[in-house]
Structure 1
């Protein structure tokens, strides 16, 4: 440290002393000056300067100060002088100073704070700190040393709604050493650093700060990586390998559950956090969102050891660590299997299933072309004419008779906007109800002249469109451009200026299917309530449930039942409770999309398939409902 920097630290230590101490600095000889120089040297790492201010052997003192930092694996020491008794008059030969210490132990632990005392003696006209190990800490004595005792906690699982884990156990391989058994710790760390990439100095610090008789984890490997390095690791003297089974391999839905990685040197550098060897880190999905709950925090103790026996003498401070806890989701294994099976071997697509009566997410399925979180929960897709479901309330208010005749031409112009019907042909006697059942976009868009744009937007809001959802993963509730004029309203009914996710539309179906006709916000995790442990006591206000108009619900149920019995959603029919639903077509870029939005019993679904077949979504929905019934 430069002389200028040392003077700045010395000034800081001087300024925190009390007023009498400041005046005492002007008297010679001064005990205060000795205290200041000792603490400044200790704090800045100038151990030689600190040692010169003691009455002990300078080499012994310097080594003790160096060892204290190593044994605590401390990032830094900071001191504050809090009092001085004696040492300010000509007759004093003894004095005592009080100081407050702050030791940064790193590893995401709080600061270790303690109060210390410095006894002083007047030696040949100069004040000296009377040296003994208790200068470092009042409870450290001859023949003892510091150590840091670490007790990591295992990772907890992500669970389904019944409490069953949604992961399979995976074996990690942990490279350990026992410090007391190492002949040359520096060589071990040098060789291990070359193999793993972990910094050599950090590996060595872990060893030196640990209990000599404790197994110290230095590096962790997954099965594949360990197989590559096994021979090199076993060639390092003192390294032992322990198998550590942990719930890491995700079950379906894998991208929702998320993946977990052992902490490697590269990963530690990317994260820039306090992770240590043996830890696991959630990289995606719920594993990442709830990392702090699933792993808790490490229990850490600062202790003293008997140097000869290596036995613990005293515990100077302990951080209990935050307990780990599993994460309980709303996912259902049976529903998830039905979703996965329904999508097996089909064109690219995805399926989201929710419990209609609660909004709880039961399953999220996707083929390899789509991502369960980024697309099924947070994707942005045009809903096609399925959005017309949200226009029903406005149509009712406008006095629409759903049994009145309504032509379904191949093309239609509304307010200057042109629409083409690409779905199945209209029934022989087309009606408004028939237009919903067949998803006839040219017929449905003609109703835009009856619906006020503001009424349509208000009706969509009752289905949660644009609502902020309190979910731990990325989601998209939908958006709609301002509706000005018949053309914009017609485009909304056709789903052309509206964006939704499959989750959005599953909740729309759930609102109509729920026994009370209520839209429920989505729920994916029931415990804990918040991903961040620090937010446990903060009030969380989830989106409110929205009760739909009874007449709107009754009309939608009639329309969606007709979609399966006499419309384009017939392929969704399945044994058991009646199936309700509608189909719709849309385009994303150049990819044709086929929707099914509906329900059976208390299970509401949205299926979105990449297909030119308008009934592709309904076909997958039918497979899903049949598979669900077979698994009951």
Structure 2
């Protein structure tokens, strides 16, 4: 026989995560050697004794029931055989008396996790009269009519299968998948052997050896101690030859909710974990029977919806431990509730593309895509340097020159148009602070130029020059018309931004170019671009069945929106996003942005570090690209934007 691959050895019998937790309900036949009851009160009728039995079965102690033979410890007698179970409600349905004795009909009702699915049946209890007193003759069939002597009831608690999280077109983003838990079975090992095996396994798995050795040492002498949880694809990559040499190595198999790929949309979806003692103490019955609870993202926000209630299955078991007949099915099985998945707006192809495109960025980053017509969040990717922090949805950053679209809107409301002349100087001083254009700004675009050209070339000084006529309140109102600062509820924390209304002086001047104290998020800027396309403030939605988008107040007119689209189109035709012009997917709108932050950096020639931004729209798609520590938006962000736009076109 071919040797079993050690990666696939099973430890189901010691699996702390197995799905069935069995608790005995069996009642063994009371031995005739048991002492006769001498303390029970005399009963006037069989019905009275039957009532006492019914109450005793519910309360778990037959001490007060007149019995032909009474066990020495009446409470332990029932408790041992009804361990871990809920108590049945038992009532006497009737009693018949004859010369040979009496019989009582008992009605059992067992509650389940679903109040609408209780289990009810009838059984019989036989009574005999001894010395003028009616007594119960115990038989196992009192608990259920199908029980024979030497049999009991076995109740399996089956944790409910956690509901899936779905994306666009009901593609499963999270589903229950097989996982493997490599570990050490300590049974038969000395402490020294267990420690040595733990060290070897840690080396194979590339995990902290001291940490795992401490974990193994903390468990009992016969425990299986898992090292980590692996997807099947990762488990199959383990060195099977090395695993064969580890004494006590075993691997368990179970299932758990996993995203479709490792790391896929983790900041949005969240993860799961087993409930801790603290969880059970603080949340009680809500989680004590749960196999998994949510941790972060949608898994935590909608934990109650996703966490299915456990169910029951009742079977006959042999009290001597022998196996029941294979043909014997369950006496009763609670119907599992139908799954109610959590549906999201995430587009798998776009989410994967966004994650792939920013996976090599060496600072926090994000790509967020929104559908302008609906507000659907199609992708919300945070870079690997974020360590699962949701930069895409709650990162708070100055938007830089992408905000110039809002500044332009404020100027349009003061009578300007895309063709209006503005003054683009090399520098401008406000209250003693000098503002300049980017170091790469071309002198050909200095002097009297149109607002369209100023936006296309991203002239800082031309917009700051308007700080006296465009107030901070005007900027805030314009930004709000494009969604900044709106109240959202997408199901997980999300930041729409903030534009202080009272800033003045240099703070107000900096606000004209999206700096100062203005902040928003990558999601906020994707919504900003989507609002220009739609012609009103867009409210984003991620789980529309649970948290549908609402209509936001917006005073943006169609004429204003058309003029803003003209300005963003100019950025693509003649500005810093010209690489997106003539795209096969159709006309592209966009704006680059750079926002300085921190102190002057000697490594950058004394200039501060910069956030890199790009916002883009094409058809019914709007998205933002953000890199926390990047170069100019046209240098760092634009190539990423081009790659994402191409991916979106190919995914159609």
Q: Which category describes the TM-score, using the shorter chain as reference length?
A: 0.5 to 0.7
User: CA distance change for structure 1 residues 454 and 282 in 2, over 3 Å: closer, same or farther?
Assistant: same
Which whole-Å deviations, capped at 9, do the CAs of 1:60-85 have from their partners, x for residues lacking one?
96565134323xx22x6487999999
The equivalent of 2:261 in structure 1 is 250
* Secondary structure in 1 matching 2:313: strand
Q: How many Å apart are 1:592 and its aligned residue?
A: 1.5
CA–CA distance in 2 between the matches of 1:82 and 1:251?
58
Q: CA deviation at 1:29?
A: 7.5
Equivalent position of 1:191 in the other structure? none
| Deviating more after overlay: 390-399 vs 495-504 | 390-399
- SS at structure 2 position matched to 1:323: coil
2:340 matched to 1:331? no
* C-alpha displacement of 1:163: 3.8
Unmatched 5+ residue regions in structure 2? 1-40, 183-214, 281-286, 600-608
Contact 2:157 2:310 in 1 (8 A): yes
Q: In the alignment, which residue of structure 1 is the partner of 2:583?
A: 575
The 3-state SS of whatever aligns with 1:543 is: coil
Match of 1:355 among 358, 367, 371: 371
Contact 2:102 2:127 (C-alpha < 8 Å) held by counterparts: yes
Whether 1:556 and 2:569 are equivalent positions in the alignment is no
Is it true that 1:319 corresponds to 2:339 in the alignment?
no
1:70-114 superposed Cα distances (whole Å, 9 cap, x missing partner): 3xx22x64879999999xxxxxx99989999776x78x9999687
Q: TM-score, structure 1 length as denominator?
A: 0.67
Mapped contact 2:615–2:623 kept (Cα < 8 A) = yes
- In structure 1, how many angstroms separate the alpha carbons of the residues matched to 2:259 and 2:593? 39
SS in 1 for 2:390: helix
* Counterpart for residue 152 of structure 2: 145
Determine whether 1:473 maps to 2:492: yes
Q: Secondary structure at the match of 1:605?
A: strand
Pair 220,291 (structure 1): closer, same or farther in 2 beyond 3 Å: farther
Give unmatched runs, 5+ long, in structure 1: 1-26, 87-92, 176-193, 204-217, 531-539
Asked if residue 161 in structure 1 is aligned to residue 172 in structure 2, the reply is no
Structure 2 CA distance for aligned equivalents of residues 628 and 310 of structure 1: 58
Task: Pick the aligned partner of 1:613 from 629, 632, 641.
Answer: 632
Q: 1:434 Cα deviation (Å)?
A: 3.1
d(CA) in 2 for partners of 1:492 and 1:507? 19
1-structure distance, mates of 2:598, 2:496: 21
Q: 1:255 to 1:410 in 2, by over 3 A?
A: farther
CA separation in 1, counterparts of 2:246 and 2:257?
Answer: 22
Offset, 1:38: 7.3
Is the 1:480–1:498 Cα contact (8 Å) retained in structure 2? yes
Asked if structure 2 preserves the Cα contact closer than 8 Å seen for 1:156 and 1:295, the reply is yes
Match of 1:542 in 2: 549
Q: Distance in 2 between matches of 1:165 and 1:420?
A: 50
1:604 deviation in Å? 1.3
CA separation in 1, counterparts of 2:69 and 2:422?
A: 103
Offset of residue 320 of structure 1 = 2.2
Q: 2:421 aligns with which of 371, 380, 405?
A: 405
**Local SS of the residue matching 2:488:** coil
Give, in angstroms, the shift of residue 617 of structure 1.
2.1
RMSD: 5.2
Shift of 1:280: 5.4
Q: CA deviation at 1:573?
A: 4.0
- Conservation of the 8 A alpha-carbon contact between 2:540 and 2:549: no
Q: What's the offset of the Cα at 1:147?
A: 1.6
Q: Deviations over 1:554-573 (max 9, x none)?
A: 11011112223333444554
**How far apart are the structure 2 equivalents of 1:234 and 1:111?**
48
- 1:580-600 Cα offsets, whole Å, 9 max, x none, are 222222234454112112223
Q: Which residue of 1 aligns with 2:522?
A: 502
Match of 1:172 in 2: 179
- How far apart are the structure 2 equivalents of 1:230 and 1:128? 63
Partner of 1:599: 617
The count of residues paired between Structure 1 and Structure 2 equals 541
What residue in structure 2 maps to residue 310 of structure 1? 324
CA distance 1:33–1:444, change in 2 (3 Å): farther
Structure 1 window deviating more from structure 2 (543-552 vs 596-605): it is 543-552
C-alpha separation in 2, matches of 1:196 and 1:316: 42
User: Which of the residues 269, 274, 286 maps onto 2:288?
Assistant: 274
Give the whole-Å Cα distance in 2 for the aligned partners of 1:122 and 1:418: 106
The verdict on how the C-alpha distance between 1:469 and 1:230 changes in structure 2, with shifts beyond 3 A counting, is farther
Structure number having the greater helix percentage: 1
**1:522 lines up with 2:533 in the alignment:** no
Residue deviations 1:94-141 (CA, integer Å, cap 9, x gap): 9989999776x78x9999687999998886687866645466578867
- How far has the Cα of 1:381 moved from its partner? 1.0
Contact 1:353–1:362, Cα closer than 8 Å, also in 2: yes
Assess, with a 3 A threshold, how the Cα gap between structure 1 residues 558 and 545 changes in structure 2: closer, same or farther: same
1:625 aligns with 2:625: no
CA distance in 1, matches of 2:354, 2:537: 23
- After TM superposition, list the pairs within 5 Å mapping 1:583-594 onto structure 2: 583-590=592-599, 591-594=609-612
Q: Secondary structure at the match of 2:386?
A: coil
CA distance in 1, matches of 2:255, 2:633: 50
User: In the alignment, does 2:370 pair up with 1:390?
Assistant: no
**1:245–1:274 distance in 2 versus 1, CA, 3 Å:** closer
* More deviation, 438-447/308-317: 308-317
- Is the counterpart of residue 439 in structure 1 residue 454 in structure 2? no
Provide Cα deviations, 1:199-247, integer angstroms capped at 9, x if missing partner. 99999xxxxxxxxxxxxxx9996468998998899979xx996676975
TM-score by length of 2: 0.65
CA distance in 2, matches of 1:391, 1:513: 17
Change (3 A) 1:468 1:113: farther
Q: SS in structure 2 opposite 1:560?
A: helix
Q: State how 1:192-207 maps to structure 2 within 5 Å.
A: none
Cα distance change, pair 395–257 in 1 and its aligned pair in 2 (3 A)? closer
CA displacement, residues 296-327 of structure 1 (integer Å, 9 cap, x when unaligned) = 34442345557688369897765323323554
Tell me the residue number matched to 2:192: none
Q: State the partner residue of 1:461.
A: 480
Deviations 1:433-452 (A, max 9, x none): 33323333333233343335
Q: In structure 2, how many angstroms separate the alpha carbons of the residues matched to 1:584 and 1:220?
A: 43
Q: Does structure 2 retain, via aligned residues, the 8 Å contact 1:253–1:364?
A: no
**Partners of 1:357 and 1:599 in 2: how far apart?**
12
* 1:142-165 Cα shifts (integer Å, max 9, x gaps): 554222245566566544424444
Q: Residues 97 and 475 from structure 1, CA distance in 2 versus in 1: closer, same or farther, beyond 3 angstroms?
A: same
Q: 1:309 to 1:570 in 2, by over 3 A?
A: closer
Q: Describe how 1:113-152 pairs up with structure 2 within 5 A.
A: 131-133=138-140, 143-150=150-157
1:512 pairs with one of 505, 512, 532: 532
How far did 1:249 drift?
A: 5.1
